[in-house]
Chain A
């Protein structure tokens, strides 16, 4: 059974601090996606990682993919309150179908 696990499930951090969210998956894949969801809102695409060693950065967020370890990380640098949201990783399988298996989500609360 395909499993995608994120940790931590909940992260409370202070503004200005750094932290990393981890996404582990059980079956080989070379594609991984990070999404952000604000309360009551839709999912916003953050990063698309399509190869081993891929690293992408946008503002205070940086995502990486290690397909051999079946691990992706989302690193937050100098957190600000606006980053408070739920972050999901999703692993893609299949060719044209690109079936996404979502992780459990990490609720990030950045305290002033």
Chain B
């Protein structure tokens, strides 16, 4: 299936831990994104990579570090997790330009 996939789907962890979320797309797109959706369903862009280059870097704590090993993969590493990091994190991809973004299934992160 052509799609945007994320792992894991659910992540439950303790405060202070470090965790990673992985994203892969097989749509042949050159741009990938990370979004955070909070408990009120508000969606906010965090990062974007185009051809492995960081092009959007919003005001996000530096505990969050994205990495794109190639065009098809974008990972998100979070250090020293805090309660406020609990949210659903969506990966998305698109072809560069004003093209629609295709979203992954999301990773629900719960920090206890």
Contact = CB atoms under 8 A, between A and B. Distances in A.
A complexed with B: yes
- Per DSSP, are chain B's interface residues mostly helix, strand or loop, or mixed? strand
Contacts of B45: 99-101
A100 to B, nearest CB: 6
Contacts of A35: 103
Interface in A44-85: 44-45, 48, 50
Interface in B92-106: 92, 94, 96-106
Contacts of A99: 45, 48, 56
Given A97-B50, A100-B45, A42 B98 contact: no
Interface in A90-108: 90, 92, 95-102, 104-105
Nearest to A37: B41
Given A45-B100, A45-B101, A102 B43 contact: yes
Contact of A96 (B43, B55, B90, B105): B55
B87 to A, nearest CB: 14
B44 A48 contact: no
Contacts of B92: 43
A88 interface: yes
B31 interface: yes
Interface of A: 30-31, 33, 35, 37, 41-45, 48, 50, 86, 88, 90, 92, 95-102, 104-105
Given A97-B50, A98-B31, 14 more contacts: A33-B101, A35-B103, A41-B106, A48-B98, A48-B100, A88-B43, A97-B55, A97-B96, A98-B96, A98-B98, A98-B99, A98-B101, A99-B48, A100-B45
